[in-house]
Chain A
Amino acid sequence: MKLTVNKGLSLVLLVIAASYLFMAYNLPEYAFVPVDADLIPKLLGFALVILSICFFFSKDIDTEEQKKKRVIKKKEAGMLLGVMVLILLYITVLEVVGFVIMTAAFIIVCTRFLGYQNWIATISTAVIFSVGAYALFNYGLAIRLPAGILPF
């Protein structure tokens, strides 16, 4: 039997519910309150179990429109993944390299990657935005963003 999208999803949700419940049952006990920390999580876990079972047997209402949303061309999927990798890179090295450099670099690389050709507009926006935001936060709002390898 081939699973429909909704049936597959409900199985995934069931697994989430089960692991959540497992953790809820393993919460440490605290003796001096009438209702302990595990009550609500247990209720939530069971609620999700029931809901995913209902969902499994519910009339499949996966419309054409939704199906269309899920169909992504390979190249487009690559785009999404690419931007995600860029974001992860940004996060990982933000505190080391510093805000100004990373932000400017991100804006330039990401914009270029998404296919915008105007270098001048991109670079000037990137520089103005990153320096401006840094100045605003550090000096205007006294919120310190990572300076990184730059001396200020």
Chain B
Amino acid sequence: MFEGIAQGFQVAFSWEAILFIFIGVFVGTIIGMIPGLGPISAIAIMIPVTYSMDPTIALVMMAGVYYGSMYGGSTSSILLNAPGVAGTVAASFDGYPMAQQGKAGKALAISAIASFVGGTVSVILLMLFAPVLASVAIIFGPPEYFALMLLGLTAIASLSEGSTIKALISAVLGFMIVTIGIDAQTGTSRFTFGSVNLLDGVDFLVIALGVCAIAEVCFLILNRKQKLSGLHNIGSLKLTKEDFKEMKGPMTRQSFIGFILGVLPGAGATISSFVAYISEKKMAKNPEEFGKGSIKGLTAPETANNAATSGAFVPLLSLGIPGSGTTAVMLGAFLVLGVQPGPLLMTENPTVFWGIIVSMYLGNVFLLILNLPLIPYFVKILKVPRPLLISLVIISSLIGVYAVSFSTFDLYLLVVFGIIGYLMRIFAFPAAPFILAFILGGMMENALRQSLTISGGSWDIFFTSPLTLSLFALTIIAIVVPAWRDRVKRRKGKDTPLGL
């Protein structure tokens, strides 16, 4: 193995590799910044470029494209509240408020540093444990996934902005939206009103850009004459010692958690970023700051989603199993280059295996030194006069959706969800549970029904594996403990506004 690692270093530190890692992360960041285009599109777009390249160099570059685009995605999430991929939604919860307070440069710097730490720690983990973790990646079967999704859904309560019942209603509505389309387990088309355009369901992008970006635009239009506060030092990247102190905790914890969740096929960046956000909020001394521009609230998801990106390479490289849409396209890139990832890759092709892993150290460093100096330029977008900025945000959202679906139908849907998002905002229904339920709901329903098909309809299947049981136990703790804490708080007279 050490010989392999040494070979990896040799490959990754060759001039050619360094150049292409740089190109990879650069192109990835740029593509990722375009709302709508995330890692999947970035990798798919870059595949043809690699045809005539040396396979190892090409794959090292593709890995750079992957985490570069993951990083780039959070820029539009933070600056414009326009998350282009599910993994960066959580970054907007606190990143966007920070940008609104005139701390856009700081927010982007935090995002860059957190991504760097998450990425680097997880590469170390990847290097040390990739061969061992391969067996962890497959212990999750449908019942375990169901339990994991259930645990994820408990986050709804923590994402509520005061009223639990409104959060629950938002979540149920989000879950309802995801039931639209062809049902995966029976092929029945549900709630499509006979429209071919709805057979594949509503695209995540339409939801995210509609409910976040377009709804936000409505408020920008109403407040277009208001000046942003603190615009003069908006590009300042300065982080104080206190800031770093706040970031330290979440960065250490979430690097590990993000990596582990990234290893599980199907969980990936999205779930890890939400889990990171919620767990930090639960642990924080001042959870009421979350959602209002908390440093911890931005650090956590940014660390976790980048850590998860390296985690996703575990099942891909050591099992040949793509755990997500992105790694599936990545697998395609491997195959085109004549490299078959899987259990044999490490022994038969150690240069590729270790080359990719070692190159990620470099890639993460490049991301940091490439992006920190550019932040002052990125934040200039917020100095654009409001009316012009509004037009540009609208157009970018429209292009983002169109470039993925090529259908004007989806653009109309985008407007519809923009209106829904606006209405939710003015009636104080939180948007986060809506999006979370939309993301997790579909996977949860599938896992539930897959399990029941396997067991022939018997619910016992959920109570036989110790892993499922422990996840259920965590779920119960996640629900009971905060509720109990609230009660205690209220008895002490510090009444927190609760919906019921």
Q: Quick one: closest A residue to B454, CB to CB?
A: A34
- Kindly supply a per-residue 1/0 record for chain B positions 74-106, scoring 1 wherever the CB is within 8 Å of any chain A CB and 0 otherwise: 000000000000000000000000000000000
A79 touches B221 (CB 8 A): yes
Residues of chain B within 8 A (CB-CB) of A9 are 427
Q: B457 to nearest A CB, angstroms?
A: 3
A33 touches B185 (CB 8 A): yes
With A76-B222, A80-B222: A58-B188 Cβ-Cβ less than 8 Å: no
- Kindly supply a per-residue 1/0 record for chain B positions 343-355, scoring 1 wherever the CB is within 8 Å of any chain A CB and 0 otherwise: 0000000000000
Residues of chain B within 8 A (CB-CB) of A149 are none
A41 touches B190 (CB 8 A): yes
Q: How many A-B residue pairs have CB under 8 A?
A: 166
Q: Quick one: closest B residue to A77, CB to CB?
A: B222
Residues of chain A within 8 A (CB-CB) of B190 are 23, 27, 37, 41
A62 to B5, CA, bound (A): 61
Majority secondary structure of chain B interface residues (helix, strand, loop or mixed):
helix
Contact of B408 among A37, A92, A116, A133 (CB under 8 A): A92
A112 to B387, CA, bound (A): 8
Q: Quick one: closest B residue to A144, CB to CB?
A: B406
B176 interfacial contact with A, CB 8 Å = yes
Contact of B403 among A61, A69, A90, A137 (CB under 8 A): A137
Contact of A51 among B169, B221, B398, B427 (CB under 8 A): B169
Q: A43 to nearest B CB, angstroms?
A: 9
A117 to B402, CA, bound (A): 30
With A28-B188, A47-B172, A52-B169: A95-B222 Cβ-Cβ less than 8 Å: no
Q: A77 to nearest B CB, angstroms?
A: 9
A94 to B405, CA, bound (A): 14
The chain B residues found within 8 Å of chain A, CB to CB, are 31, 37, 41, 45, 48, 162-163, 165-166, 168-169, 172-173, 175-176, 179, 183, 185-188, 190-191, 217-218, 221-222, 224, 385-388, 390-392, 394-395, 398-399, 402-403, 408, 411-412, 415, 419, 425-428, 445, 448-449, 452-453, 455-457, 497, 499-500
Jot down 18 A-B pairs with beta carbons below 8 A, ordered by A.
A16-B173, A34-B455, A34-B457, A37-B183, A39-B449, A44-B175, A44-B179, A52-B169, A61-B497, A61-B499, A83-B390, A84-B419, A103-B395, A114-B221, A114-B390, A125-B388, A133-B399, A142-B48
Closest 9 pairs (CB-CB, A-B): A34-B457, A114-B387, A116-B387, A37-B183, A30-B186, A110-B391, A37-B188, A91-B411, A107-B391
